Structure 1
């Protein structure tokens, strides 16, 4: 990773044309030659960038240009030109004054580890299946069907099958997904009747109304409580 702090301007040409006037900015150059330009303020998104695959040239001017009238123009310390490999797009950054130009070997990154994702919710609910009702038993996680796996298949205290669809944030799309699973599963006389439970950390009002209209129950999952933190906020509707 190369990080440059410099007074710079930039010109992007190709499928679109864009320019950045001279200002103090941060340039981030990754090992794949992709270049991103950041300012002090604003969000995480760069002001401009060139993504890989691309080719980077680091150009140091050898002599000053001459302006009209014979006045010596300011010599840029460096020009960085990045060209896209699969198009004619070019990003050229002119560095007038470089405050810092450092490279770092970050090594191999293990990637982002997310806590509270759907797989974790599924695993905890499978281990604590009686949260859907006393006497419930787990059949299996990722129960296979012809249109994809059901997150959890269980049997309730009455011996009837229950298909459970799990989302972090439950919306209408999740209810529709559960509807398709239950419709298919109920065609199997060995499984029918199959009931549905829509489980999520949050459920939108529209999704709740639709789920109840389809005959499904809604289960609010408190991830911290499921991990063992004492909390009475788990609710079954």
Structure 2
């Protein structure tokens, strides 16, 4: 595997973005129509791993508005949202922010993993995608989808295909199958033409639906 480029600051265009756009437009007629509609817009990363994961956990299965309210309350209790602050607050105080008991436990478990260095944060940039997913999914409350969103929005990996993502499947349905339901197998078949830029194609399909996945908030 080629050595991965360092993660760019959140304000920068991912290094691969322009090349990916050009290649996708050459080989995929839907991307050729879709990509120009969004001009210079591009994926914007989030650079702090712990905060990104906390926000993704608290956002699960609730609206974006509700997640934002809980996040702001959490910042009042833990202004820096660090593992140490989360552990000091404890589950009961976290629950007062609007978190369910289970989500408070998940975030505490995440903080414990970070504090005890049971996840390899400093190595993720050099690990392949599946190894990062394995590292993350050992933490309670983090499944494959959350780990894939982390790869996309924090590590800016170019070739992630989140087959459990409702927005991706809906985007493929609308743009490739005239709104007919699609299976994971259908999605894989369509996405085979996107390699090695499946993240980029996925992002444009999200944009086509005017949807923003919760973890980028």
Which fold has the larger relative contact order, with Cα–Cα distance below 8 Å and residues 6 or more apart in sequence? 2
TM-score (normalised: structure 2): 0.25
Q: Which has the higher strand share?
A: 1
- TM-score, normalised by the number of residues in structure 1: 0.23
Tell me which protein shows more helix as a share of its residues: 2
For the pair shown, the structure with the greater C-alpha radius of gyration is: 1
